[in-house]
Chains A and B, each alone.
Chain A
């Protein structure tokens, strides 16, 4: 390997890791602050500049948390599989860090000759293949801890992540069909000038499905069953402490950024936004801003929605999300052929028809899945 190539690789990867790790620290603070405000509290507001009484709205909190995490005791339960207990958080972090390079983030310091993994033919496939490893890490953690809560959490995680991966991929298929490429850079390029996929009925439906499935994939509320605090303590990382726990935490948030980044690439036009003609470096800023929009909605949803039951979760994946995403593929194919005709009226009619079909199907599925509501039977009370 030549030295130039090594430097190129470092230029492509190190900023990504630094930027997203910093964003992670800021996001934990933001999440705690936002959740606190939603619950009529103030949130972290004490930790600021050390040795002074300047609070800075608690912006020092992530640093304090990090220092605490590093110096905490590393406890491995007796009877646990020590090797896999150690490997699990590392294996969780690697795929979520790795997929960051498939996001079409065009930083100003990258030039024509730089290593750009997102220009790979099949970047989207790579993304899904590598995020799939996360499931393994989670289950490994649950299994190696030798704790029933951990194992339950791991089992739940596997069931949930495998189920929701199907609608996730099927909704990404729409965009791949429309663009005719798996190249992330090309997918983002097609959508420049406000021509985003989210602004079409099939694109919007796919976007909503993708977002819901992404919430489930990253174990975010309301799909946080694998780490349901009130039920199974902390799920698969019950037995983790100190730096290993921090790694899990980091992996989870980086996975959140990565999947939001993919959603931005597929549906929200990547780095597309106003002012690009004047300053091309705005592309990366717009991209990160859109990711942050996603994170904000995720936090907002976490502050709003209660957790689903396990049967509701699986039922929602298999009985609602899967049929509607398959139907959406047919709708998109129909729309693609109609658009090939190039007639304005036909396009409008296609839009109306596909909107009606998708909304009707969603309502119909909702009606079909609605369980019969019986009056409640009281066994003990009178």
Chain B
């Protein structure tokens, strides 16, 4: 039979080990202080007295690891953002979002015809819980997670609603912050595209063959 209340002492031993260990073995016990993934292996000097200047940003690749995720962004393939935006305003992410923080409106041209891009794409920072479900459900690889974390604002009504134009980021930026993931996503998109084209080609050939057959049959009929 174990000693009465022994579990408490066991737990206290664990916490004591953490407490003392954090002074002796800093690298293992203080993982938030471990910057060995950076090139120089140390905390950036600028963090010490941040913010030095107005508008200074820390959310870059030197202060966060490439596995850091915070808030979604919309991808475009370079050039004029709205010409190459991948999003087609299918609204799947809007429906899947657990806290309902995404709002999308489709874009129409002057004839009232649906053009495949969003007219409005808002995400509420104060509601978003960084679950990344929108990224997982997107069939067009149009929405991915950004690692930018400096999202605080003095304007609590408009400032916390991130608009479409602020969400748009180029694929090059994505490659810069999450190189591994971006490469994998590009590869996946390329294979998907190839498969789609192969299928299209096969379908076209089939249709061609069918048409030829039909023409041959018609010719046969005529010959009779």
The size class of the interface chain A forms with chain B is 10 to 19
| Contact call A42/B32, Cβ cutoff below 8 A | yes
Q: How far is the CB of A362 from the nearest CB of chain B, in Å?
A: 5
B2-48 CB contacts (< 8 Å) to partner A: 4, 8, 11-12, 14-16, 18-19, 22-23, 29-33, 48
Name which residue of chain B comes closest to A306, CB basis: B11
A38 pairs with B18, CB closer than 8 A: yes
Contact of A304 among B14, B29, B30, B33 (CB under 8 A): B14
Cβ–Cβ contact A304 & B15, under 8 A: yes
Residues of B within 8 A of A53 (CB): 48-49
**Chain B residues, Cβ within 8 Å of A21:** none
A39 at the interface (CB under 8 A from B): yes
Interface residues of A, dominant DSSP: helix
Q: How far is the CA of A301 from the CA of B33 in the complex (A)?
A: 25
How close is A223's CB to chain B, nearest CB, in angstroms? 13
Find out whether the CB atom of A362 lies under 8 angstroms from the CB atom of B4: yes
Q: How far is the CB of B48 from chain A (nearest CB, A)?
A: 7
Chain B contacts with A in 154-211, Cβ cutoff 8 A: none
Given the contacts A38-B19, A39-B18, A301 and B29 also touching, CB distance less than 8 Å: no
CB pair B19 A37 closer than 8 Å: yes
* Chain A, 33-63, CB within 8 A of any chain B CB: 34, 37-42, 53
A334 within 8 A of B: no
User: How far is A241 from B103 in the complex, measured between Cα atoms in Å?
Assistant: 35
Contact assessment for B4 and A40 in the assembled complex, using a CB-CB cutoff below 8 Å: no
Contacts of A37 in B (CB 8 A): 18-19, 22-23
Do A34 and B19 form a contact, CB below 8 Å, given A42-B32, A301-B12? Answer: yes
Q: Is the CB of A40 within 8 A of B18?
A: yes
Residue A330, interface by CB 8 Å: no
Q: Which residues of B contact A (CB under 8 A)?
A: 1, 4, 8, 11-12, 14-16, 18-19, 22-23, 29-33, 48-49
Q: A interface vs B, CB < 8 Å? A: 34, 37-42, 53, 300-301, 303-305, 359, 362-363, 366
Other CB < 8 Å A-B pairs besides A38-B15, A53-B48, 8 of them? A37-B18, A40-B30, A41-B32, A300-B12, A303-B15, A304-B11, A305-B11, A359-B4
Q: List 17 A-B residue pairs with CB atoms under 8 Å apart, sorted by A's residue number.
A: A34-B19, A37-B18, A37-B19, A37-B23, A38-B18, A39-B18, A40-B30, A41-B32, A53-B48, A303-B15, A303-B19, A304-B11, A304-B12, A305-B8, A359-B4, A363-B1, A366-B4
Please give me the 4 A-B residue pairs with the lowest Cβ-Cβ distance, nearest first.
A37-B22, A304-B15, A304-B11, A38-B15
